[in-house]
Amino acid sequence: MRLVLKEKPPLEFIQPLPAVFGIVNLTPDSFSDGGKYADAPAAAAEAVAMLDAGAAGVDLGAESTRPGALEVPPEMEIERLLPVIRRIRELRPEAVLSVDTRKAGVAEAVLDAGADIINDVSAMTFDPRMAEVVSSHDAAVVLMHMRGTPATMRNPENMVYDNVTDAVGLYLEDAYARAVSAGIRSDAILLDPGLGFAKNPAQDYELVKNAAALRKRLKAPLFYGPSRKSFLSQVCSGRKPAERDYATAGILCALAAAKVEIVRVHNVPMALDCMNAFTRVF
């Protein structure tokens, strides 16, 4: 499989080494690095460092989607994102840039500024204009599984599944079909099972355990985001998010064994070291 991008070489997925995307949050309240890259120069510098370390791309977010997070006005997202995108484009014009947003107006602004991928945690259900914006820009899109919104996804009714893997698979199949019907190219779609979004830790581990089954079932590359998430706290004595990289590395090995195409992480050098070591023995 590969991801075909507008005006850039396609991302070719050479197994068993997943492509690694770095995460840069431009928010004051993200669960792991909130406030660390809240100004444009720092955020752009971190993104460039990740790219120089070997990241295949960078995922920028200007609205926290941690559990309980409240919605940010689109104008604020745009204000945070555009200076960073423009600076990265000046320094690394060839870089693959993904932007995490649910809002069509934000997507339009960042795509016009040079973003390549829209990473929509609502799978284009939050804003009815999103599919049109992605299609008209010939952009790539990440469609993620979630129930509710970041503010409500931990409500009990959103976390009950007969079979979480089957439910996520069905949802992502439907999201993929809707995207293609809306005019988005099938080779420009990534699918994210949504670890930590309307799931408890047991369900998150189940989705990691069954990554190979999801990959076999679904028609688009998988884009997993396990980095430092709360389900890992069970295996690392409740340590803070920034101290969960060792646990993240364990999950990355499981995802590599399942031949997942892309993982996104906060610590790019760690992830690349982990993946490179894994390929020596796999």
Model pLDDT for residues 110-156, shown as the tens digit of each residue: 999 999 999 999 999 999 999 999 999 999 999 999 999 988 999 99
Which residue bears the tokens 């980095």?
Answer: 227
Residue 160 has pLDDT above 70, yes or no: yes
Average of pLDDT values for 190-210? 97
pLDDT in the model for residue 31: 46
Burial class (CB in 10 A: 0-12, 13-18, 19+), 126: middle
Residue 44 has pLDDT above 60, yes or no: yes
Question: Contact 282/39 with Cβ under 8 angstroms?
Answer: no
Residue 5 inside a domain? The answer is no
Residue 112 inside a domain? The answer is yes
The residue range of the domain holding 41 is: 15-276
Would you name the residues annotated as active-site residues? Answer: 229, 264
Residue 51 inside a domain? The answer is yes
Strand positions, DSSP E, the chain: 2-3, 11-12, 19-25, 57-61, 97-100, 117-120, 140-144, 189-192, 223-224, 262-265
pLDDT in the model for residue 67: 79
Residue 19 inside a domain? The answer is yes
CA distance 231 to 225: 12
CATH of the domain at 224: 3.20.20.20
In the chain, what are the helix, strand and coil shares in percent, each to the nearest 5? 45, 15, 40
Q: Determine the distance from the C-alpha atom of residue 223 to the mean position of all C-alpha atoms in its chain, rounded to a whole number.
A: 6
Residue 6 inside a domain? The answer is no
Residue 4 inside a domain? The answer is no
pTM above 0.85, yes or no: yes
Residue 50 inside a domain? The answer is yes
Residue 7 inside a domain? The answer is no
What value, to the nearest 5°, has the Cα angle with vertex 247 and ends 243 and 252? 125
Q: How many separate domains does the chain show? A: 1
Question: Contact 2/246 with Cβ under 8 angstroms?
Answer: no
